[in-house]
Amino acid sequence: MKKIILLLITCFAGAGCASLTLALPVQTGGRAPLTEQLLNDARKELKLAQESYAAGDMAGSEQAAIRAARIIYAADFPGNGKGRRYAEISSRLSLLMVRLNRFLHRVSPELEPESFTMPIPHNPRIERQIDIYLTRGRTAFARWLRRSGRYVPVLREYFIQQGLPGEMVYLALVESGFNPRNRSPKHALGLFQFIQGTAEMVGLKKSYWLDERRHPDKAARAAVKHLKSLYREFHDWDLSLAAYNAGSGRVKRAMRAQKINDYWKLALPPETEAYVPKFYATLIIAREPELYGFNPDMETEIATEEVDVPGGVDFKVIAECLGTSLSVVADLNPELTKGCTPPGPETYLLRLPKNTGERFRTVFAGLPDKKKYLSREELSRRKFKGVYFVYKIKSGDSLHTIARKHHTTVAKLRRWNPSTRKSKYIHAGKKIRIYRSR
């Protein structure tokens, strides 16, 4: 942390403010503990430096920046601290140093070369979101950033190949935290959070057995297609991102009603007004995570190969053939929602760990058909698991008559309705669940 401060001091001196080094003598002891008050004081001095610089008062700007840096440098940072309070202090110090770095960057642009192709704006809305990610949202953001290592390298290259800025891949962090199984309260699903209507529009399939919104590669292709369409519509990435969140119709209506075509001036729903700042805050932190106090042990991409597997094969059987765990197979194929390949005459292209395909084919071929495939009854149970209706018992009904009428068995009715297990009789007016079982 101190090294970064010293670097900033040196850089600022190199930009023509040599007095900064004179104002900050090296101290060997007696530092005051870093507190919220000191951070607030440093923040105020940095704000004054920025305001003075904008007004053309270079001398005043320099002196305020010196005072901000001196407060930070002179404080004793608790490097061996523990707990949430330490993490928040660390985060706020990181953010303050980055803000000082940005201020220096405006004096000497070569100090902070851009590593992204998209122009990244800096404004108070983005700053507030960065602050959230570094404080109360820190734990979640660190988890998302760590998970991104599994997807970003490959998907970013794909986005670039398709003519989009590679940074757009970080939309998946804002949308789902790079979790392909993430489902929003509005039933959007997958890395890029498609609702069902939009998913159908961009070619993602859904059935009883699979939901391609959860397929990382197919969802990425759909996201590219959708983003291209939005950019052709708005010719502006900020508005396109807003439309990705709120829908192009809502954004267009707001633009027409307010006669504004600048996202940052548009009045939009609160979620959409926060959406684009979240995206840019993510890019800013992801570009230099260490500078913001993040040092995540990034997940890495899992090497896989695709193998044609017959329909109706249980993940458990596949895992046993590979000598691996059920969770490995499920993790590599999150789009398959019933724990098996879709039944039917066609094979399914399943992702397996690299260099295991031949082993699977050999072991699977030696299994008896009864073990290879799920039974019709089990497939039916999985297909309709969780799909039931509530039946109100009528006078004269019995479990036998209800079971016969609804093409099921008394044993299943008792299993689905624990209240019927301890009694021979059922009573009119009571309600029971009946699952579809064809």
Catalogue the active-site residues: 175
Whole-number Å distance between alpha carbons of 227 and 237: 9
Buried b (16+ CB within 10 A) or exposed e, 7-29: ebbebbeebebeebeebbeeeee
Whole-number Å distance between alpha carbons of 291 and 258: 39
CB within 8 Å of 185: residues ≥ 6 apart:
none
Query: Cβ(241)–Cβ(279) under 8 Å?
Result: yes
DSSP 214-263: G-HHHHHHHHHHHHHHHHHHHS-HHHHHHHHHH-HHHHHHHHHHHT---G
Q: What is the largest CA-CA distance in the chain?
A: 97
Q: What tokens were used for 245?
A: 């969140």
Q: Distances in Å between the alpha carbon of 111 and those of 4, 53, 64, 107?
A: 13, 17, 20, 9
Whole-number Å distance between alpha carbons of 148 and 176: 11
Whole-number Å distance between alpha carbons of 200 and 203: 5
Among 276, 274, 268, smallest CA distance to 171 is for: 276
SS (H, E, C) 90-154: HHHHHHHHHHHHHHHHHHCHHHCCCCCCCCCCCCHHHHHHHHHHHCCCHHHHHHHHHHHCCCHHH
Q: Distances in Å between the alpha carbon of 243 and those of 144, 227, 269, 270?
A: 23, 9, 11, 13
What element of type H or E holds 390?
strand 388-392
Which SS3 state, helix, strand or coil, does residue 156 take?
helix
In which region does residue 346 sit, left (phi positive, over 0), alpha (psi from -120 to 50) or beta (all else)? beta
Q: What tokens were used for 63?
A: 């002196």
Q: Distances in Å between the alpha carbon of 76 and those of 32, 80, 432?
A: 6, 11, 67
DSSP 8-class letter at 420: G
Query: Cβ(280)–Cβ(343) under 8 Å?
Result: no
Whole-number Å distance between alpha carbons of 292 and 3: 14
